[in-house]
Amino acid sequence: MTDRRIIVKVPASTANLGPGFDTLGMALSLYAWIEMSESASGETVIELHGDHLNGISTDKSNLIYKVAQMVFKEAGVTLPELNISMYSDIPLTRGLGSSASAIVGALVAANALVGGLLTDDKLFQMATELEGHPDNVGASLFGGIVVSAWDGSQAAKVRIEPHGDLDVLVAIPAFQLSTEKARHALPSQITMKDAVFNLGSSSLLVAALASGQLELIPFAMRDKLHQPYRAALIPGMSEILDKATDYGALGAALSGAGPTLLTLVDSKSARKAELEAFLISTLGKEGIEAQTMWLKPCSCGTVVQVLSGQEAETSSFMERIKGELGV
Ligand code: HSE
């Protein structure tokens, strides 16, 4: 029996950044926290805090519990009964990587609980397999901008430190869109011309982000692989993607599978209020209420606290994290 309490802070993420479908991810300054410890009572107890986790199961079908058991199995350890607590500022099913943050937080917490037996790369491989693509999980795990490829059995990645002048404005519509539905809208085939367009855009975007050439973003952050096909699911999206640069954005994209829309903005821009008003009014014209949020790319991936001995006995999970909570 270990008396260790693990608390993991895990960032939200945006996937694709326009052209990098299933390959580009960026961690964002919006977080979830997961606490995990071995249950002293011999029974699993799962507590969910805050408004963003409504409807999530608190029995052993809970994703965090199941992912933790996969880590224990992989590490050759038996820990069937756990105490798990979670709080999240990341809205569910909006394209901000909430499921990836839960998977990554669970993998990292469970691994810390068993003394870090699995490597970060092993956790990345497991997370990619669970999520079905490496973009969100890579960003949540490693932080920054993560460029990744997955061949169905092996994932590889390179992390890029985000430019200090990059700000992120998101408009989060007041409706949910499942990744499954948004992936269903995609065609099974595209033309060679569109494939070449995306290859150029995505390669240029990665090079621009890696070399800090932010002036190339407006040209590079364009996509013909998935956004045009998803546009019908998010009224107002096409206009935002077409015109955001006219209102001072460096570029605009659907965040992951949506419905959140994301713009990259130069932090020195004098036109931030104008851009925010444009996003809200464009969605508003379609009858869609949206919440806007100014975020930063998050350089850190997961941050782990290990509490043991007397330290593990004092203060509750919510008391431990309350100084850091956002919205
Ligand atoms: N790359 C994924 C997609 C992210 O666009 O479907 C959502 O999980």
pLDDT level of residue 156 (50, 70, 90 thresholds) = very high
Mind listing the pLDDT tens digit for each residue in 59-117? 999 999 999 999 999 999 999 899 999 999 999 989 999 999 999 999 999 999 999 99
> What's the sign of the alpha-carbon dihedral 235, 240, 242, 246?
positive
pLDDT of 312 > 80? The answer is no
Closest ligand 1 atom to residue 183 Cα is 6
Q: Which residue's CA is the closest to the ligand 1 atom numbered 3?
A: 257
Mind listing the pLDDT tens digit for each residue in 5-27? 999 999 999 999 999 999 999 99
H/E stretch holding 148:
strand 145-150
The average confidence (pLDDT) of the chain is: 95
Fold of domain 166-295: Alpha-Beta Plaits (3.30.70)
3-state DSSP assignment of residue 196: helix
Cα 175 to ligand 1 centre (Å):
17
pLDDT of 140 > 60? The answer is yes
pLDDT at site 326: 63
Mind listing the pLDDT tens digit for each residue in 192-204? 999 999 999 999 9
pLDDT level of residue 252 (50, 70, 90 thresholds) = very high
Start and end residues for every CATH 3.30.70.890 domain found in the chain: 166-295
Mutate to test the pocket of ligand 1, among 136, 179, 184 (most ligand atoms within 8 A of CB): 179
- Which of 98, 135, 162, 102 is closest to 18 using CA atoms? 135
Structure-token match 């014209």, residue found? 285
Q: Which residue's CA is the closest to the ligand 1 atom numbered 6?
A: 257
Q: CATH number of the domain at 5-161+298-324, please?
A: 3.30.230.10
pLDDT of 327 > 60? The answer is no
Structure-token match 């036109």, residue found? 271
CA–CA dist 160, 280 (Å, integer): 31
pLDDT at site 181: 94
Start and end residues for every CATH 3.30.230.10 domain found in the chain: 5-161+298-324
CA–CA dist 317, 81 (Å, integer): 18
Cα 117 to ligand 1 centre (Å):
30
64 class by beta-carbon count within 10 Å (0-12 exposed, 13-18 middle, 19+ buried)? buried
Q: Which residue's CA is the closest to the ligand 1 atom numbered 4?
A: 256
